Structures are given as C-alpha cells and as structure tokens.
Amino acid sequence: MKKSMKTYVLILSQVFPSSHPRTGKPTEFCIKMKNALAVQRGDAPQWNKELKEKYPTALKIHTIRANYEYWHNAFEQIEAGQACLSVRQWSGKPRRSRQTEIVRLTSEDGIGLQKLEIDKDRDVILGLNISGKHTDIETVANNDGLSLQDWKDWFRGYDLNRPLAVIHFTKFRY
C-alpha cells in the first residue's frame, strides 16, 4: 500500500487583518499568486519588466511567515518528495468557515524556502537579509504582493527579532 503524502497548509488572507490600517479591504493575494504562477508557466507571455515596474504589487511570488524552524522542517520533507504545500483561503469568516484549496504545490513546481532576518533598531527596520544576502525592503514587499507601507503595517505586530520564512511559490530566489 502506497503511503500518502503529508500536506502542509498555508492560508492566504482574503482581506487585511483588523490590526492593519486597511482592515477588511481585499488583499487580492489569491489572484496575485495565480498571476505569478501563470508568468512562471509562460501562460502570461506579455508580462515583462515594464509591466512589473508599472504594477509592482501585481504578482505575489512569495509569502512571509513566522516560525522559520517549522517551515524549514516542512520544506525538508517537501524537497525530499515526501510532502506538498496546499495553499488555501477561508471560504468565509476566518477560522469559522471551510478552507478552499487554491493550489497544491510540490518541489517539482519550483517552490522553495529562504530565511529572512531583519536588522532593526527599536521599531525601525534598517535592512533585510535573505539567506545572508542584503535585500531591498521595497522589492521584498512588492514581491509579497504589498506596497512598502502595507508590508510594514502587516508585520508591525510580528517578533522581528526571530527569523522569518520566505515561502516561494515560484522558482524565483533572492
């Protein structure tokens, strides 16, 4: 009997959380992630550098999550072909409705993980290091499907002294 593959669940927010100034407004994360996957597959050949500059937040090529250690262990299994990543949304109210799967991804799809460490002084972000490489904060925010201000507001309540997980939906890496 074939052993079933372990599934790690990642839920994308449909709306900005109550802690965000844009609370309740659509994030459009689902369509932005689907756009990124379409570009990678070549289903959006018209997408180019000029469009990326004009619409910098139109693609969500990754998501950033707390608990780097958990995601590191998950991606060891995903890369070994023992697990997959199920990207989902709530069908209605978060935690009070059914989850709807958007896409199921494996290592064959090019997904990956990088460690994000934030240099800060008190509450001021001084810089980002992804896998040991200094990375532009606005680029990271845009690749996360957010403007720089929305990204900063989103992560305001996070413990930025601990490493974060950058979970890539495409083959792109910093």
Domain containing 14 equals 6-168
65-86 pLDDT, tens digit per residue, is: 999 999 999 999 999 999 999 9
Model confidence at 43, pLDDT cuts 50, 70, 90, reads: confident
Structural domains counted in the chain: 1
Which value, to the nearest 10 degrees, does the dihedral of the CA atoms of residues 69, 85, 14, 65 take? 10
Domain contains 42: yes
Domain contains 81: yes
Domain contains 82: yes
Domain contains 24: yes
Domain contains 174: no
Cβ-contact 160, 118 below 8 angstroms: yes
Contacts 24+ apart (CB under 8 A), 18-26: 19/156, 19/157, 20/150, 20/153, 20/154, 21/153, 22/150, 22/153
8-39 pLDDT, tens digit per residue, is: 999 999 999 999 999 999 999 999 999 999 99
Domain contains 173: no
Model confidence at 3, pLDDT cuts 50, 70, 90, reads: low
Domain contains 32: yes
